[in-house]
Amino acid sequence: MVVTGLGAISPVGLDTASMWEALVAGQSGVDYITAFDTKTFDTKIAAEVKGFDPEKYVSRKLAQRMDRFTQFAVGASLQAKETARLVIDEGNSMDCGVIIGNSVCGLLSISAQYKVLMEQGPRRVSPILAPTMTGDAASVQVSLILGAKGVNYAPSSACSSGCDAIGQAYDQIRLGNARIMVAGGTEAPIMPIVIAAFSNIRALSAKNENPQEACRPFDARRNGFVMAEGAGIMVLEDAEYARERGAPILAELAGYGATSDAFHLTQPAPDGASAAAAVRMALERGNVSPEEIDYINAHGTATLLNDRMETNVIKSVFGERARQIPISASKSMIGHLLGAAGGIEAVITVLAMQHGVAPPTINLTVPDPECDLDYVPNHSRKVRIDTAVSNSFGFGGHNSVLVFRKFKP
């Protein structure tokens, strides 16, 4: 399985090139929320996507029939298709599938139409709400626009959704069910009910006085994650098919592993045993040894328990060599995209391999003694990356891991 296309809509850039430039420079996309009035909210910050125009990708009429999370997915998918130089026609449409994960799906549309329901009555609720609010709305619209007639669905596994979508696309190709898959994650959760809910379980940072310093993965002063929105999408292909059509091969997707903690609704299992098993599973499925890993893109949420657990997982799997592996927490700059996090961080992992650069973990100024690995603090670093891991660990105990390596025919 190879990666031939990448697409991203992010808080620090509306495509992969601008996003990558910002990440390498250590720029933060966190700022005060503009989507709604936060006067009564404890948390007033988020990583919003700024300047996104869905009409760059689809007509105004079609854009108005999409929730924001679907608009992001369509934009990122069309970017990935263009990068892959992919043409979908009658000859290959049945061999092309779409799997795009998310967590909170069309809550923006639901919220807007609920207000209509309460103020104007049930007959005034838009009939387009039904296919707009569902979890599969993004994958369906991408399938329609691309003309992809293969498998099409939307996994939802909290913060692991995007990672699982890519991993399940890997399985579809491995099993011979498809030759091309468009996969990743998308999310648009910056709205009052979501911010209030996550704030009330004390998961969000409330460092409102300086938004760009709020997200501090692995730092002793971290106090929660920063909500974000956007999408990260990949085109995956059977290697032989990609080479036959002359596609640009950006990386190989070597392995995928997934487990569950079966421990708690929100907290990760303290011993990290299930998460470590997911990492080992991804390595074993890809026939990759722990000694080969040159880089890790961490889940790194900047929550107290998650960062310590992930540090312990990395130590458990990689032993003493764990201290030699550069680790980036992309969320320090782009925030936590919930169901899209695994998708966009997989894209970032492939970009890191391509450019030979590990992006920084910004705001890491007071290291936590229990988080004592090399998190590439504050400044990006040139490093040879032949093989890399992307971790996603979600609420509910979802553990999902991808392993990428440079493609060698």
Q: Which residues are catalytic?
A: 159, 299, 336
User: Structure tokens of 267?
Assistant: 């907290």
**Interatomic CA distance for residues 194 and 215, integer angstroms:** 18
Q: Which helix (H) or strand (E) holds 328?
A: strand 327-328
CB 333, CB 211: distance < 8 Å: no
In eight-state DSSP terms, residue 362 is T
Of the candidates 373, 218, 378, 244, the one whose C-alpha atom is nearest the C-alpha of residue 304 is 218
For 96, 152, 340, the CA distances from 144, given in Å and listed in that order, are: 12, 10, 21
What ranges in 286-326 are assigned the alpha helix state H? 304-318
**Interatomic CA distance for residues 167 and 151, integer angstroms:** 14
**Interatomic CA distance for residues 200 and 366, integer angstroms:** 26
CB 323, CB 354: distance < 8 Å: no
**Interatomic CA distance for residues 81 and 232, integer angstroms:** 13
In eight-state DSSP terms, residue 77 is H
**Interatomic CA distance for residues 250 and 348, integer angstroms:** 12
Q: Which helix (H) or strand (E) holds 403?
A: strand 398-405
199 Cβ partners below 8 Å, 6+ apart? 41, 42, 43, 206
For 45, 86, 279, 353, the CA distances from 242, given in Å and listed in that order, are: 42, 10, 27, 19
For 20, 72, 131, 335, 354, the CA distances from 338, given in Å and listed in that order, are: 20, 14, 22, 9, 25
Q: Which helix (H) or strand (E) holds 81?
A: helix 68-83
